[in-house]
Amino acid sequence: MSSTDYPQKRIAILGSTGSIGTQAINVIRRHPDRFAVEVLCAGSNAELLIEQAREFVPNAVAIADESSYDRVREALDPLMIKVYAGTKAITDLMDMTTIDLVLASIVGYAGLQPTLRAIENGHPIALANKETMVVAGGIVTEAASRHRVPILPVDSEHSAIFQCLVGEQGQWDAEKERLSSSVDKILLTASGGPFRGFSMQQLQQVTLQDALKHPNWSMGHKVTIDSATLMNKGLEVIEAHWLFGVPVDRIEVVVHPQSVVHSMVQFVDGSIKAQLGNPTMETPIQYAFSFPERMESHLPRLDFARYPALTFERPDTNTFRCLAIAYEAIRRGGNIPCAMNAANEVAVSRFMRGEISFLQIADLVERTVAQTPFIAKPSIQDLIDTNNSIQSAL
């Protein structure tokens, strides 16, 4: 099947002004024959949202910050673009029947409700919001199975795992909606963040500016800080567990400072497949948009001469406790991962405001998880209540 045989996909971008959203815009901009913007949703960056809407003229836009509604509406009124405001409006836009694919890239818990609504409406999901799976992985995967909606991973690590599994005979059990026993282990790579190798004493002195200096990736502030604490990798372990149906004890984190190997899959015969490439999110975004096709990209190719050595090491979970907290949270299950995520969102926000130190992020998360009443089989309302109670209490 040639590229001309594929119809143009109309894409709803949830989080269009963020790091993932703007890179997705770059992908669409390079392939206007293949992709069109149907919906743009943003948090509070009204200026960039207006700029994006003027360029792509989607059918609808929404901004979560309701105080920006008049400004956005007046700017886009000449283009006859429908403008909405508020978080409920973003979720309600997922009822549109003209959407072919939803890029779920709203940061944090806020991405859960619109993603679930999109699934209920049968829209394929390009998932870049790992918190959705952390908070409600069981509910999301069950809904996706019931509505026969594919979830295509966009996180570089999960895209890498997905790419390693494509074409593996018997790797997916359609009846059980889980990977078969041909997969022995997932090897989830981590850069180690800006503080790799730091001691606890050194971490006592780090600042917000230090935490935001990621050595390899350009990401939003929340994700970058999560990378510095290794909570981001903990969230990815939980996401991988739900996406690929692999027990958490068969998901191993490997620190790989060069960020060239994006993740690996080890099979029962001992063979390992890895996906490699330059550290850019545009590659996994494009792959999710075009799957099952691989489209040509004009991004720079990986130059192995620039990487004379690719190194791997075990993570230091004694110093970077957030990764260990995440493993324990998914082992306990129920509403505990949701509680952990809620506490982490608050902790990161407080760190960014200068209210707590870097090391106190893990302290706050661990203490909150320990105090959270356990619900073994939470409903979506239980998860909403768990999140809201922790957010308000902290």
Q: Provide the β-strand partners of residue 253.
A: 188
**What amino acid is encoded at 136 in this protein?**
A
Alpha-carbon gap, residue 294 to 66, rounded angstroms = 39
Same domain, yes or no, for 120 and 7?
A: yes
Q: Given 153, 171, 204, which residue is the final one in a domain?
A: 153
Coil, strand or helix at 228: helix
Residues in the chain, total: 394
In a domain, residue 380? The reply is yes
- List, in order, residues 6 or more apart from 209 with CB less than 8 Å away: none
Closest by CA to 288, choosing from 101, 41, 134, is 101
Same domain, yes or no, for 120 and 24?
A: yes
Same domain, yes or no, for 175 and 243?
A: yes
In a domain, residue 84? The reply is yes
Alpha-carbon gap, residue 152 to 131, rounded angstroms = 15
Q: Could you tell me the residue range of the domain that residue 54 belongs to? A: 3-153
* CA distances in angstroms from 155 to 138, 186, 237, listed in the order given: 19, 15, 12
pLDDT value of residue 4: 56
CATH assignment at residue 356: 1.10.1740.10
Same domain, yes or no, for 222 and 147?
A: no
* CA distances in angstroms from 294 to 1, 114, 236, 257, listed in the order given: 11, 28, 24, 27
Number of domains making up the chain: 3
Q: Given 96, 124, 153, which residue is the final one in a domain?
A: 153
pLDDT value of residue 107: 82
pLDDT value of residue 266: 95
Residue 245: CA count within 13 A, CB half-sphere: 18
In a domain, residue 38? The reply is yes
Same domain, yes or no, for 137 and 8?
A: yes
Alpha-carbon gap, residue 384 to 112, rounded angstroms = 10
Enumerate residue ranges in the chain where pLDDT < 50. 1, 171-177
Q: Given 97, 129, 153, which residue is the final one in a domain?
A: 153
In this structure, are residues 236 and 155 in contact, taking their beta carbons and an 8 Å threshold?
A: yes
In a domain, residue 189? The reply is yes
Look over the chain and give the mean of its residue pLDDT values, rounded to a whole number.
93
In a domain, residue 295? The reply is no
In a domain, residue 303? The reply is no
Same domain, yes or no, for 216 and 258?
A: yes
The two three-digit tokens of residue 193, written as one number = 């963040």
Same domain, yes or no, for 95 and 242?
A: no
* CA distances in angstroms from 364 to 75, 236, 355, 370, listed in the order given: 43, 20, 12, 10
In a domain, residue 343? The reply is yes
180-207 pLDDT, tens digit each:
568 899 999 999 999 999 999 999 999 9
Alpha-carbon gap, residue 218 to 173, rounded angstroms = 36
The two three-digit tokens of residue 30, written as one number = 């390079």
> 């309302």: which residue's tokens?
381
Phi, psi (deg, nearest 5) at residue 293: -85, 150
Same domain, yes or no, for 119 and 202?
A: no
Taking the CA atoms of residue 333, residue 233, residue 115 and residue 347 in that order, the dihedral angle to the nearest 10 degrees is 80
The two three-digit tokens of residue 41, written as one number = 């949703």
Same domain, yes or no, for 361 and 394?
A: yes
In a domain, residue 327? The reply is no
Same domain, yes or no, for 93 and 191?
A: no
CATH assignment at residue 30: 3.40.50.720
Same domain, yes or no, for 147 and 9?
A: yes
43-83 pLDDT, tens digit each:
999 999 999 999 999 999 999 999 999 999 999 999 999 99
Same domain, yes or no, for 23 and 131?
A: yes
pLDDT value of residue 181: 65
Alpha-carbon gap, residue 216 to 258, rounded angstroms = 8
pLDDT value of residue 6: 75
